[in-house]
Amino acid sequence: MQSFNLKIGLVIVAGLFTVPRSVKSMECATTARPVSANTTGALSSALDSYVDSLAAAGLSGAVLVARNDTVLDARGFGYANIEKCIRNSDATLFDIGSIVKSFTAVGIAQQIEKGRLKETDPVSRFFKDVPSDKAGITVGQLLTHTSGLQSFHDTAGDFEVMSRAEALRRIFSDSLRFAPGTKEAYSNSGYTLLGMILENVTGVGLQTYFRNSIFAPSGIKEGWFWGEDRMPEDRVARGYVANDEKGNPAKWPLTWAGIGASGIVMDVRDLFRFAKAIDNGVLISRATDQSMQRFPFRKWAEGWEVSQTPYGKLVMKGGASEFGFTGQLRRYVDRGVTVVFLLNSRRNDKDYPHVEVGPALADVVFANLH
């Protein structure tokens, strides 16, 4: 019955993702090496079928499945660069979008553990001349998207040239969507503000803090920030929407339009290392990890989206951009299972394929995990 349901699921997923394939991508398909699995067995075979159906439907990306500290399977599918016929692999670097917010939340949690700040601290503790309607917004409200701040503070997209001072001015001059602490609504601006708070508390730039206090202890080998000169560009996936190339994260400028909320490039293995560093108490204590999973309203916890699934408690963060990149880091904390997938293609401007791929991939994994 599981095998039958899996086949039905693959047919449905393939139907959902059918998009016209470009002439160039069809040319690549005749010359590029096939996707190879890292392991054998039921899970590997099921993932073969699943990712092949996604690739055939025009999606591209990479996926990793692990149990406890062991990677069970990791592979790429589709193309990182259609123009050069470069296929995705588990070493391909993707824009991870809003998954960056989990890094920012962990950084804040580290400073809470050190006693340098508290969840109840108001933003007025960290900044001068905060407007009265925002002075009482707390660190905890910023973390759980309950601050009432607007979703964005840019007017020209993610790459708008913006200084830290200008970003702060815009965030504080925007109107609130609701009284702080009364509702939840996703706010990129809130996480940019958290990035600034982390800088204020530690006295170092956010990128330096991430590298020294999160990347290094996690064993992350290649965490990059948009536009860094040293980034290995030949391994960076381009973003595609309906097979049209929309961007190269190696060339994107990193500004305070999104710092703290976005701007990191990474592969699936390093995202898994980040997850395990949390699970194993390397970055923060297990008690702190548990406290970060509490949510005041519907789903938003501190840096994570938390829900109950048929496979137990899911602690997840997803990300998406208008440039073709989407993905999710999924921690099934009751089962010790981690699923990471990063995509670099979308069907159209309004498409968010990670929303469909995440649950479908979980079905494939847990039906074949023995």
End-to-end CA distance of the chain: 16
Note the pLDDT tens digit of each residue in 237-295: 999 998 899 999 999 999 999 999 999 999 999 999 999 999 999 999 999 999 999 99
**φ and ψ of 250, to 5 deg:** -65, -20
Looking at the chain, the whole-number percentage of residues with pLDDT higher than 70 is 89
Where does the pLDDT of residue 47 fall: very low under 50, low under 70, confident under 90, or very high at 90 and above?
Answer: very high
Q: Which residue matches tokens 């990059």? A: 224
Note the pLDDT tens digit of each residue in 145-155: 999 999 999 99
Integer Cα distance of 254 and 335 in angstroms: 37
Instruction: Tell whether the model's pLDDT for residue 34 goes beyond 50.
Output: no
The mean of the pLDDT values for the chain is 91
What type of residue is 222?
Answer: E
For the residues 325-351, what does the mean pLDDT come to? 93
DSSP 227: T
Integer Cα distance of 340 and 67 in angstroms: 12
Dig out the tokens for 282 from the structure: 């390397």
Residues 113-126: b if buried by 16+ CB within 10 A, e if exposed: eeeebebebbbebb
Cα 165 to Cα 203, 211, 256, distances in angstroms: 16, 23, 9
Dig out the tokens for 346 from the structure: 């979308």
Long-range contacts of 356-362 (CB under 8 A, 24+ apart): 356/13, 356/16, 356/17, 357/13, 357/54, 357/59, 357/328, 358/316, 358/318, 358/328, 358/330, 359/309, 360/9, 360/13, 360/50, 361/50, 361/63, 362/309, 362/311, 362/330, 362/332
Residue of 5 and 304 predicted with greater confidence: 304
Dig out the tokens for 220 from the structure: 């992350």
Integer Cα distance of 138 and 136 in angstroms: 6
Note the pLDDT tens digit of each residue in 172-192: 999 999 999 999 999 999 999
Which helix (H) or strand (E) element contains residue 110?
helix 100-113
pLDDT score, position 40? 60
